Each structure stands twice: as C-alpha cells, then as structure tokens.
Structure 1
Amino acid sequence: MENKRILIYSQAFAPDHSGIPIYASDFAFYCAEKGHDVDVITGFPFYPQWKKRPEDKGKLFATDVINNVTIHRGYLYVPSNPSTFGRILHELSLAFFALINSCRVKRPDVIVVFTTPVIIGVLAAFMNLFWRRKLVINVQDFQVEAAHSLGMMSDSPVLKATEALEVWSYNQADYVSSISDSMLDLLRHRKQLPAEKVLSWPNWNHSDDSTTERPPAGLFRKKYGFSPDTKLIGYAGNIGKKQGLDVMLDAALAFAGTPNLHFLIIGEGADLERLKEYAAAKSIPNVTFMPFLNPAEYLTFLADVDAVFIAQVKVAFDIYFPSKLLGIMAMEQLLIINADADSELYKTTKKHDLALVSDYGDMDTLRRQIGLVLADDPIVDRHKTAAGQFVRQFRRDVVLSRILSTLTETPVALPSLKEATL
C-alpha cells in the first residue's frame, strides 16, 4: 500500500477521551502505525467536561505530535453552560480557526471528517473544492435530527440552513459513512444519497490488542469505598436528555430497601443537574453521582461493577448507537439495556442475546432483570459470553484495515451490525 497523506478533521481529539474523540484519535493513530503521514485539524482539549485545560486558555494555535500524528489545534470558544447560543458560538469558533489551519497544512491525498458538528464537514467539503481529493464524512451523530428529536430549535431558520449545508457537504463527499444500519438507512432515504456513496463504518474495539490492560478486580471498589459484597449497577458517559437516566433513578428507588445494592451515575452533561434534583426530591438513598473517569479509571469501573446500565429514550429518528457499547462487550461485562423497542440498540442486543433488554420505561421487566443480577442467575454469564463472542468481528484491525483499504485503494465492503453474527 502506497503511503498517503491523510488529513482528519474532528471537533475534539486526544487527550479528550469520550465519544467521538476516541474514534477520531484511534483512527489517526492506526493510519500512522501503517506508515501514512497524518495531520489532524481540531480544537484544544475540552471534552467531555466542556472545560479547557488551564495551560490552553488564551492560546489561538498550537501544534503537537502524539503517536506520530501531527495535530493542528485552533482556538475554541467553550461555554461554561453549553446552551443553544453557546454551542453556535462554539462551532463558529471551531470552523473559523480550523479554516486557518486548513490553509497551513500540505495538500492531502485523503480527507476524513468525524462529525458532529455539521459545520466541520462543510468546511472540509469547501476546502476540497480546491484540493480535489478523496473526501469521506464519517457521521457519528446526526446533529439536525437530534435537534428535532429533542425539541431544540425545531423548524428554525438556523436549523434549516444547517440541514441544507449538511446535505451539500454530503453531496460533495466521495463517501458518507455511519456506524449503524438505521443511520445508514437515514443517509439513503432522508438524505437521499445514492447507495454507492453510503459506506458502513462501524465503530470498533481493542479486543485484538495485546496491550489492552484489564485491571485486577477491586481497585474501583477500594478507591470509592464499596465493599466486595455490594452489587454495583452503573452508568458512565454523557448525561443528556437522550440517555433517559430518569429510569435508572426510578429503578434505584424501587430497590431503596434492598441491602448491598448501589447505583452509580458517572459523567457530566446537560441533564445532570436535573437528575440530581430529581434524586434529591425523591430522597433516593442508594445512588451516587460521580464526575467523569479518566480512561484508566473507567477500566477499573468496568472490572468492578456487576452490570453496566444503558438507557435510550424514544426519539423521532433512530440516530443513536452508544459508542461505548462495543468496549463494554469486549470486557465481557453484563449490560442492562432499557431502550425504545424500535431502536437499533434494542433490536441488536435483543436479537443476539447480548444483554438483559427491556423497552424504555418498562419498570416491571427492569425490576425482574435487576433481581437476576442480585441472584447471580446463570443467564448473566450467558449474556456476558455472547457479548464477548459477538464483538470479536468488530476488532480494531478488522474494521480499520478494511476502511483504510477503501480510502486508499479498492473499496471493500464492511460488515454492518445487521449482518453481524455470533
């Protein structure tokens, strides 16, 4: 394979360690490992805390190198309270300084964009009017549909303009990829992209990486004061409306009188304060809120909890598929999924027997499933084993070697979640 100059755009990048930055960073590192020259255009670290590091405040530009990847950072306005207006200013600052950095890098052979936000894909498509190179937009989240689903700026001129620019950028791209079958269907039907332009690019895990550390059990419990005989059910990640964590608090309340059972909500986000107020109003005694964990601490969390809880509310468009899911399955950790029965998250985990699955808000089933965890029912180990086997087909080298071949040589079809088998 001839070495290429690959340019990657991403709103956030390493050392940011949650959501899209995990995959944008690892793809860049993988390309560099294979001998390609890799540049990244991004902002200064801020995610998921929505807070810049002290050493980055006041900086307009910086260039650093991580794992042989050259990272060009530009000023980023980061609102302390990410309201709609604050997010608009945030994205405009990202695009403006990314435009300047785009003029500073060498002409690439391949451009890869990790979105959201839409504006970073629009910028890459604009620059490619001059570069005329292969452009791939990898859609991790649909910003416009998310705004509609959550009732944010619905039918506003800003949202309509954003969607028009989004579709324009997709039409300029050689490929538009996404991570799940429902999201690929949205590209084909709602965005009206031809089938040959739509590329399946599932997220991946590191289960084939011998350097992946599996920490010994007990470290997380010891650090935070949980005894070995306490059953822990935890959520770790972004805390927003789409996560629907009210149902987890309701489950905790239902088991408030059960000894040796505790619930953890770990992370930050727009819905955190409301959930804390809800828990306080209900006087829920068996739930603890904790800030985001760094990557090493997150692994100790996975090693020590008895189940990882993931919820997903019903939305107008099936546009969410949790980025953390494959990593949890690779650790063979039990998943409790409480999600809309029409969602791909529900259908995939139910079809392949990967988790204890229930419809969002179905408290009767959820209570029974938590009872199975408390009883150490044999079904728990069956779900763990099935998840570990399922996720192997999404190993890092399997997914990324095929993607890199598609981007640099002859296109190769990738497996989708719908086609995946145990």
Structure 2
Amino acid sequence: MRILFLTQWFQPEPFFKGLPFVKALQARGHQVEVLTGFPNYPGGKIYSGYNIRPWKFELMDDVPVHRLALFPSHDASGVKRILNYLSFGLTAAAFGPFLIKKPDVIYAYNLVTLGLASSILRTLYRCPVVYDIQDLWPDSVMHSEMMKQSILQSILNTWCRFVYRKASHLTTLSPGFKAELTERGVPEENVSVVYNWCDEKHLSMADKDDAIISEIRGKESFVVLFAGTMGIMQGLDTVLDSAHMLMKIEPKVKFVFVGGGIEQKRLEQSVVQRNLTNITFIERQPPEKMNTILKAADVLLVHLKDTVLFRITIPSKIQAYLFSGKPILMGVQGDSADIIRDSGAGKVVKPENPESITMGILELFRMSEAERSVMGKNGRKYYDKKLSMQAGVSCFENIFYRLLEK
C-alpha cells in the first residue's frame, strides 16, 4: 500500500506520530511518503541545518520527505499561530500535487488547515483521506485564548464541518471526541477511536543522570512530578495553591515541574513571591532523559482547566506516564479520568480544586510503596494492551484496508 503522510510537523521536531509511525508502517510492507513543513516546533524558530525555501527533499532513515515553506511561529500570538497553520496548508495545496507519487490512501494529521490540500489530492488521485483528529477545531483554538470570540469563529466552524464531512474517515483520540463529531453531523461509522501512544523508544532508554535525580528527589521527599507544557490551559496556579497547603500539612511532599511554556516564568515568579519552598522547576529535558526523570518521581501529575472540551480530551502525557509504570494523580475529568479508573493506575481528583488535589496527594503519600507499585504496574499493563504503538498501528492499518475495499 502506498501511503501519503500529510502533516505540518515531522522529525526532527518532537512528534510521536512522525518517523516512528512511518517506520512501523514500512515494517509492515507499506510504502510511505511524507509531505511536511520546515521544522520549527515548539520554539517557533527554524531548526539549525534548515533554511526556509519553497521546497526541500530529504531522505530520512529511508523515508522520502518533502518539506514546504511555512511561517514559523509558536508563541502566544493567535494571529501568528494561525498564520503558521495556514501557511503550510496553502503551500501543501499549491505544491503537493507536483511533488508526490500517486498514493493509495492519504493520512492527514490533525490540522483542519490541511483540508484544502487533502481535498485537492483526494480529487486528483481518487484515493481516500483519513483525518487524524487530535484537537477539536474550532473549540481548541477558542479555548486556548489564541483569539477572541469573533466572526472568525463562525468561519472556522463552517470550514471544520466541511473538512470533517469530506474526509473518507476520521480517527480521534477519545470516545468523547467521537461523540462530539457525530453530534456535528459526521456519520458514526465514519469515526474510529484510535488511542495515541507515547515515544516508546526514548522512554525505554536508561540514560541515567544522577544530578537530575538528586535535584528531583532531594532529601527524604515524596515527589509529585508534572512533566510537559506549562501553558494557560494547564491551570497550574491550582497546583501552586495545593503546594502552599501541603507545606503546612505534610512538609515531605515536594512538587517538581519539568518542561517549559508561556506560563513558566510567571509561575516561577509566583513561587518566589509566595515563598513556596516545596516547588522546583527543571528546564525542558531531551527525550532520552525522560525515562529516568519520570521514574525518579513517586507520583506523576496531570492537570488541565475544568472545561467541557478537556473532559473529552486525553492529554498526551497520560500515555507516557502509564508507560513509565508510576502511579498517576489525574486532575482531568471525563475520558482521561476513565482511563485511570479502568486501569487502576492512580487517583482521580477534581481539576482547579486545590483541596481535592491536596487530599489525593495525601492519600497516595499514606499508601505503602507496594500499593503504589501495584498502581504503576496496572498502568503499564493497560498501556501495553490498549495504547501501545503496535496496537495503534494495527488500528490504522485496518482502517486503510477497509477504505480500499470500498
């Protein structure tokens, strides 16, 4: 089977469904060609070794990759972020048909701004398009405060409905997303839930860093670790409030934030102003160190603001946390909470509720190490069975074959 992999992001950007996914498809005998942009995520600057030009071809680990020009940006500016998305969508539509070989199926990753390109390619080559929906547009754009409510929301909503209905098939990351898409008019049989997987290769590495472990663990501490993006929608002020409460209730509890984002500096300033001595920030680390970092914690924290959208979202860090085999404190309602309950991998608390988070941490703190270990093992078993890359690739492969049989 010839598969066109249409995505704005690809390696060397940190993209879990990029090169590893393509290599897994190749290992099953499929030919995959990639149409993508110049690497600039997450910093919004073009990576060293690349210069923006109309088109560049490279062979990456025996994978043919076509890179097209885009407007690099990934900051808090809604206008710049939209320009980033639109620019690649337009160049893919304009140049894609002249660069790629005829595919049997097109896999388009996430952005509805790829709708024009995928529609043109689908019409030109008369092949099915599978859209992998990771963010529910336009909801995710509006909730992220990238732009204010305006006529643009109406335009985006109309365009999204067009893209969703024109796709041959949609895959999505959660049951809640599927339900929402069917409510918007997409036939239920045209939507499949395919859970995301994590970066299994890097999370299996044992790149031990004693200095980082020491920084995380401290002395006789019970470590609650948050890894990933520190943005507006993570609602991490609530976690700071919980840390303030726990300074008095249980001084052994320590919070560690690993990563970066537009809220990091403000959060660090707040920690200093409030004299929260039980919080440590560690800069974003390379993927090969994350296994060591996650395993150094006692509990791994997930937290998002309490919105309707996030109740049907499964943050990508959940897969990495489950894979690591550590207990999870889940501060997200809905589908994410269901995974923790079904797997027995941790505790569920109310988001944006410092009292609930504090009580959840204390429950885990007061458990024996053996009890917490069982939770971690439960999570890893659940991941291997339902969320692993091989499970996901098999789902996509079955969808591709079904579409070709029609």
Same fold (TM over 0.5): yes
**Contact preservation (8 Å) 1:141, 1:319:** no
Counting helix residues as a fraction of each chain, which structure ranks higher? 2
**Inter-partner Cα distance in structure 2 for 1:27 and 1:353:** 28
Q: Which runs of 4+ in 1 moved over 6 A?
A: none
Report the counterpart of residue 242 of structure 2 in structure 1.
251
State the 1:127 CA deviation: 2.4
- Which aligned pairs between 1:321-336 and structure 2 lie closer than 5 A? 321-336=314-329
Cα distance, 1:161 vs structure 2: 1.7
Map Cα deviations across residues 82-111 of structure 1 (whole Å, 9 max, x no partner): 401111221122123323134211111110
Conserved? CA contact 2:37–2:70, under 8 Å: yes
Number of equivalent positions: 400
1:209-250 deviations in whole A, cap 9, x for unaligned? 8x9735276646347474463332211112222222122212
Cα 1:162/1:288, change in 2 over 3 Å: same
RMSD across aligned C-alpha pairs, in angstroms?
Answer: 2.7
- Paired residue for 1:356? 347
- Residue 104 of structure 2 corresponds to which residue in structure 1? 109
CA distance in 2 between counterparts of 1:125 and 1:283 reads 55
What is residue 151 of structure 2 aligned with on the other side? 157
Which residue matches 2:377? 385
- 2:64 aligned with 1:64: no
* Counterpart Cα distance in 2 of 1:265 and 1:216: 20
The 2-side partners of 1:51 and 1:89 are apart by 14
Looking at structure 2, the residues matched to 76 and 324 of structure 1 have their Cα atoms a distance apart, in angstroms, of 28
Q: Distance in 1 between matches of 2:284 and 2:6?
A: 25
Work out whether 1:233 is the aligned partner of 2:227: no
Q: Is the 8 A contact 2:206 2:291 kept in 1?
A: yes
- Verify the 8 A CA contact 1:239 1:270 in the aligned structure 2: yes
Equivalent in 69, 73, 76 of residue 79 of structure 1: 73
SS at match of 1:23: coil
Q: Distance in 2 between matches of 1:80 and 1:390?
A: 34
Q: 1:48 to 1:223 in 2, by over 3 A?
A: farther
Q: Give deviations 1:329-362, integer Å, cap 9, x for gaps.
A: 122111111224xx21123323443212111133
Show CA shifts across 1:11-45 (max 9, x none): 2111222xxx2124332221122222111111122
Per the alignment, residue 420 of structure 1 pairs with none
Task: Select between 304-313 and 223-232 the one with higher mean Cα deviation.
Answer: 223-232
- The alpha-carbon deviation at position 123 of structure 1 amounts to 2.1
Query: Residues 12 and 43 of structure 1 are in contact (CA less than 8 Å); yes or no, is this contact kept in structure 2?
Result: yes
CA contact (8 A) 2:42 2:74 kept: no
1:38 aligns with 2:32: yes
Give the 3-state SS of the residue equivalent to 1:308 in structure 2. Answer: strand
Aligned to 2:2: 5
- AA aligned to 2:378 is A
Q: TM-score, normalised by structure 1?
A: 0.86
Residues of 2 paired with 1:297 and 1:48: CA distance? Answer: 18
Local SS of the residue matching 1:39: strand
Q: Which of 192, 212, 218 is the matching residue for 1:221? A: 212
Contact kept in structure 2, 1:44 and 1:74, CA below 8 Å: yes
User: 1:396–1:316: structure 2 CA closer, same or farther, 3 Å change rule?
Assistant: closer
Return the match for 1:268 from 260, 263, 267. Answer: 260
CA distance in 2, matches of 1:260, 1:130: 63
Rounded to whole Å, the distance in 1 between the matches of 2:365 and 2:312 is: 33
The C-alpha deviation readout for 1:101-136, integer Å capped at 9, x for no partner, is 342111111100111x32023321232122210110
Contact kept, 8 Å, 2:235 with 2:303, in 1: the verdict is: yes
Q: Distance in 2 between matches of 1:371 and 1:93?
A: 48
- Provide TM-score, normalisation by structure 2: 0.89
Partner amino acid, structure 1, of 2:281: F
| Aligned-partner residue type, residue 160 of structure 1 | S
| 2:306 aligned partner, one-letter code | K
Instruction: Quote the residue 1:313 is aligned against.
Output: 305
Q: Give the conservation status (yes or no) of the 8 Å contact 1:114–1:139.
A: yes
Q: Give unpaired runs (5+ residues) of structure 2.
A: none
Q: Which moved more, 1:249-258 or 1:302-311?
A: 249-258
Identity %: 20
Q: Using the alignment, how far apart are the partners of 2:162 and 2:74 within structure 1? A: 32
Counterparts of 1:167-178 in structure 2, within 5 Å, are 167-178=161-172
Which stretch of the first structure deviates more once superposed, 222-231 or 384-393? Answer: 222-231
Map Cα deviations across residues 178-206 of structure 1 (whole Å, 9 max, x no partner).
Answer: 010000101101x2111111122111357
1:102 to 1:27, Cα distance in 2 relative to 1, 3 A: farther
2:335 is equivalent to residue 338 of structure 1: no
Secondary structure in structure 2 of the residue aligned to 1:7: strand
Amino acid at match of 1:110: V
Q: In structure 2, what is the Cα distance between the partners aligned to 1:58 and 1:403?
A: 32
Contact 1:221/1:227 (<8 A) preserved: no
> Quick one: higher RCO (CA 8 Å, sep 6+), 1 or 2?
1
| 1:398 aligned to which of 391, 394, 401 | 391
Quick one: which of 45, 53, 76 aligns to 2:47? Answer: 53
Change (3 A) 1:385 1:201: same
SS at match of 1:256: helix
